[in-house]
Structure 1
């Protein structure tokens, strides 16, 4: 007989002998005959104690071998190993091998990812809730001249309140953010920091944009100078053409009208270029105060009324009573006019434009939604760039300058807000404006 079977038989026999004795001991105890109950229970315990060491020793040998299998140690199984234990061991061995392979692959991926991050020219920072550093790559360590920033507060490494605020917002709202910082504070090197949520943490990418900022400053100066130089001769051309129209006959009036129309279009382009250049450089003052949204919407609708009548576009308002935002009244109206002009220009005849708003925790949202042709997904990321037009064929009779949405974006940033576009080709677009919500006592 195999040792395993003998072990099981010994244990079973001991249980069969001890069970009646234990039952009798319980009955005697219930009857109050404690001395007899204790004596019989002691006899049952002696029977079990005699069999237990033998069975326990064998079971402990089997369990020790199973633990070795689970840990990946290869050894010959005991000769008396029951078939049930062998089956369990096979399953454990398969799972253990699969788990070791999974861990090996994960470790290899982690090493590869760390190697890639270490070689990136941009600084990479992983921040925990509480703004403590979990990981920093070589570029960031060199940028801050700190050999091991792990566990330290970000505010000790980059002392910039805008960066702190952006990181806290991303951690709180789980939405991407972007901010520009100087490292060290007040220094010449400028960094664009893109922050994305990552598993309850914030992942920040520091890109050096110092050279790009210098080139951008040169571009802005060039645009401002060209706009100024073009405005003078264009004003003269328009004045002369208007004079000619007063005296022109039927044959030449059409030509003069064409010249005047294009001169006005050029003036609009120069106005937009000048405005955008001044907004980008901070030359346009922003004087925020509490503004009634419905009143600003009404003023903007008056400016686009001729285009709305021409396209026969219906306007619907969905504004809660008394909704207000903290903004510069003139610039808020400019934002709304640019969005409404696009919503009408790229709408279908007889289409609809909806202007809505609501308050949510921390923000006031306004939106302009149309039933136009919509914007393709590949174009939505670029529509806020200067001169970019999603599709010049959308409205060939009414092309714009491609600067309106760039102006909207920069004005929203000057207000501490943001703008985003949601669109479905063939169904329309919605432009969402988000303004920081004023304190309750200021509403």
Structure 2
């Protein structure tokens, strides 16, 4: 089919590339000229392993093109996908500014009946509102299908081609049939529902996973207090098939573009309908506290941090992405700046994004060894493979004091080295 994907951010680009890869002819649309120029050169505006190779392959096979919004006639397509951002507003609700702009653009430029597929994460009632706005005083029939995404940054290519389920929400059976046909090559179970159920599935899924992370981090605090090991506790819990072992890894919390935004939005939706969301609010509070746990460890070790060199290994909210949105690194850096520490940072992909925030307040290292040189503490923030693979001798050779505060349990082998002081989440004290 001929498909347009509006928005070349994380969701839009992965969606467009994947639809082209399974045989559709896809035009990705954006109003950002710089993005479109880069994409035409096979350069992705996001860091996602494998995506640039797929862009080049599908462009060369004439299945994928990139255009500015003003260049596009939406009447040429069989379906239009909406994948624009819905960032968090100051009050915690989802900001629908970009969605509303796109709705106006489609209505002005599409002169035939059209199926609109919403990939953007939107609050309950949004898809119904989009459909109503498109059909007001229109000579054409616009039918909306909610099709929320469940991509993990850093693993999106794997996720998009091996989805565990495809959610489709609409009251129009013909539109549901069409979008199900578009997705048939993914060979995934399809759940068909109304708008409201599809919208809630997305928020409820992310909020549940975020709550699971906060739960194990709360248990990690208890383990530290009583002398248990949260690594063992997590394993013992995860072997129960009713619980499972995913998202039971204790650490310094979640970040990124989805969990923080979606948990906050879901509490706002609940408030608007007078529904108690105290469980989700507690998960958010636990996460905020855990993100700065390593700083509390530092405060216990050093009476004052002013002038001390502290090394941060990893800046992205998770490995295999350059995304620093709501990353623990940002809160940790701010806390250390307040304490007047000398902060040296290293990340293989996210350094420029952090530099855009903190500028000359930090020292940016090109490699791990330089970052650790003469350091008095190393904080492991992101479990990149190269960080997990650091030889322990490097800490002993480079650092002024071989002190590792591991926020991800990435270097547990350090517990066996008597020359290294090591502390991780969910274990009592330094070895």
Q: TM-score range by the shorter chain?
A: under 0.3
Give 1 or 2 for the bigger CA radius of gyration: 1
Using CA pairs under 8 Å that are at least 6 residues apart, name the structure with larger relative contact order, 1 or 2.
2
Higher normalized helix content (fraction of residues):
1
Superposition TM-score, scaled by structure 1 size? 0.25
TM-score (norm 2): 0.26
